[in-house]
Amino acid sequence: MRTLPVAFAAYKWAPSTEELARRVGLDAFDIVRFDGNVPGWPAPSARPATVAAALARVNEYAHGGYPQLLRAIADYAGVEPENIVLGAGADDLILLCARAFAGPGDQVAIANEPTYPLFAIAVALAGAEVGTDDPVVTFCCRPNNPTGALDPLPAARPLIVDEAYWEYAGETAAGLIDDGVVVLRTFSKAFALAGARVGYALADVDTATELNRRQAPLAVSTTSAALALAGLADLPDVTDQVEERERMARALGALGLEPLPSRTNFLFVPLDEPESVGEALLRRGLVVRVFPDGIRFNVRDGEDDDLLLEGLAHVLDRPAPVAPAGTRRTRVLRATAETRIRVRLSLDGASRVRISTGEGLYDHLLEQLAFHAGFDLVLEAVGDLETGPHHTVEDAALALGEALDRALGDRRGIARYGDAVVPMDDALARASIDLGGRSWADVRLECEPGLAQHALQSLAQAGRLALHVESTGSDEHHVAEAAFKAVGRALRTAVHAESSGIPSTKGVL
Ligand code: PMP
């Protein structure tokens, strides 16, 4: 049998979340990844319903390719469909360009080292060499990974410009495709579809035609194409990510660090001992990318990024620039065919609450509950609201209950019981809670706007708590709101940490 001649120096992937969790003795839920340069959460358009039609025909090839997707990309990029080459991520197109433009004996230039390591791997796979001696083609990453810099565009032609992060910088070389430039882009970053593996190249028609001839047939799957198409119909807005990056940069400055100026969704921080800092952060569940001269991490959102700032301050033994998040916290990701819910809960919070389910009334009710419980809570849901609010509201309450159960751990030291009476104009609500670990719900709302009672029952079920609620009044909104506030106040008392023992004569909960 013929064997491959040498051990190839392949692209190095970071370990899986489960493996990292095992390595540091944490639950996979408690690992927060900052190392993939991707958003912290999928886009609302990435839901089961988006791929349902593709799944119904998943036995078939996409005969004729993806004309609809090509049209949508063309409109987004300001080109024609004939200028586009689809690939399984920008990575696939980097490999395609290297093998199409270069071969054995050729030199290929790579601008701005350090840069994305796959360029050199693609050159080697094409049988060519990295070098500047009359190169047949030049690769350039703009903005650059890992520095984040928007370096000047090289004058060399042909030029492959990797614009994986272009949305964050707003500058593109797409206008130069008729001048020997090929632009590579991806749905992995701003569109938050890294797992779907969809990218595209923009080139003049002749080059695009030749690249397409050399591409694997239908490199993009029908389900991934559906996700990309849905993303293009609901374009991402990266303003928040860019603002968050700048907030992080300022906070890192306050920590005495000097992040490189970035035009991407990540920051590179030069450090003397990046390896040990990376290890220490990992022990806190925070995963960053370690380089020989620093660490790189993408921004996620305010709360997650504060965890990283707090972690860095601790590891570097400097005063934290943000308030500590407390230890009784957890995160839950609950995904079914109907809904996808993300919860991040801290029991010892400061009532910082952000809820978004697409059902305003229940956002408001859950916000009241968490606020009056004194929790820090982020709860984001994407559900099949076209079928009505039922699935989304129920699953949001179940996910919150699950998070509460997880954050309470073995329930050692808690007060266990709590009760509260809350009036609201015409309404009067009374709530009593036992966090003893057995689920029970007796919820009586004299009138209610729809699913309030069901939501509280779901919370009790998943949170393993006994809940008795009675709320009377004439205005259904007041009746429900007073009930949720009362449950919040009762929870605040019940979760209160007051001893080190198990609050039961049985010795277990
Ligand atoms: N180019 C650059 C510069 C990148 O940083 C990455 C991903 N880390 C990629 C390409 C890969 O993109 P894709 O997921 O589309 O393969």
- CA distances to 89, 134, 192, 267, 287 from 37, in Å: 14, 33, 10, 9, 11
Identify the pLDDT of residue 190: 98
Range of the domain at 126: 48-233
Residue of the nearest CA to atom 12 in ligand 1?
90
Burial group, residue 104, by CB count within 10 angstroms (0-12, 13-18, 19+)? exposed
pLDDT-based confidence at 500, cuts 50/70/90?
confident
Shared domain check, 294 and 359: no
- 198 found inside a domain: yes
pLDDT digits (tens, 9 = 90+) for 115-153: 999 999 999 999 999 999 999 999 999 999 999 999 999
SS3 304: helix
Does residue 71 register a pLDDT over 90? yes
Shared domain check, 216 and 285: no
Distance 38 CA to ligand 1 centre (A): 10
Shared domain check, 201 and 54: yes
Strand 199-202 vs strand 84-87: parallel, antiparallel, or unpaired? antiparallel
Does residue 311 register a pLDDT over 70? yes
Mutational test site, ligand 1, from 96, 119, 162, max ligand atoms within 8 Å of CB: 162
Distance 194 CA to ligand 1 centre (A): 9
> Could you tell me the CATH number of the domain that includes residue 153?
3.40.640.10
pLDDT digits (tens, 9 = 90+) for 191-249: 999 999 999 999 999 999 999 999 999 999 999 999 999 999 999 999 999 999 999 99
Shared domain check, 360 and 214: no
- 217 found inside a domain: yes
- CA distances to 242, 305, 322 from 302, in Å: 12, 5, 10
Average pLDDT (51-56) is 95
Classify residue 357 by its DSSP letter: -
> Of the ranges 231-245, 332-346, 419-433, which one carries the lowest mean pLDDT score?
332-346
Shared domain check, 191 and 134: yes
- For residue 179, what are the contacts with CB-CB under 8 A and spacing of at least 6? 157
Shared domain check, 168 and 211: yes
Q: Nearest 5°: phi and psi at 262?
A: -125, 140
- 3 found inside a domain: no
Final residue before a domain boundary, out of 233, 258, 290:
233
- 41 found inside a domain: no
Mutational test site, ligand 1, from 92, 118, 163, 183, max ligand atoms within 8 Å of CB: 118
Number of domains in the chain: 3
pTM: 0.89
Shared domain check, 90 and 168: yes
Shared domain check, 253 and 192: no
pLDDT digits (tens, 9 = 90+) for 237-290: 999 999 999 999 999 999 999 999 999 999 999 999 999 999 999 999 999 999
Shared domain check, 402 and 455: yes
- 272 found inside a domain: no
> Could you tell me the CATH number of the domain that includes residue 243?
3.90.1150.10
Identify the pLDDT of residue 12: 85
User: Is cis: bond before 114, omega within 30 of 0?
Assistant: yes
pLDDT digits (tens, 9 = 90+) for 364-397: 999 999 999 999 999 999 999 999 999 999 999 9
- 5 found inside a domain: no
Identify the pLDDT of residue 504: 77
CA distance 167 to 163: 8
**Ligand 1 atom at minimal distance to the Cα of residue 115:** 3
> Could you tell me the CATH number of the domain that includes residue 405?
3.30.230.40
> Of the ranges 40-44, 173-177, 398-402, which one carries the lowest mean pLDDT score?
40-44
Shared domain check, 249 and 214: no
Task: Answer left, alpha or beta for residue 366, where phi above 0 means left and psi between -120 and 50 means alpha.
Answer: alpha
- For residue 327, what are the contacts with CB-CB under 8 A and spacing of at least 6? 348
**List of E strands, 5-121:** 32-33, 84-87, 107-110
Shared domain check, 342 and 294: no
Which residues does ligand 1 sit against, CB inside 6 Å?
A: 37, 89-91, 116, 141, 145, 162, 164, 186, 188, 194, 199
Q: Nearest 5°: phi and psi at 246?
A: -70, -35
Shared domain check, 119 and 251: no
- 456 found inside a domain: yes
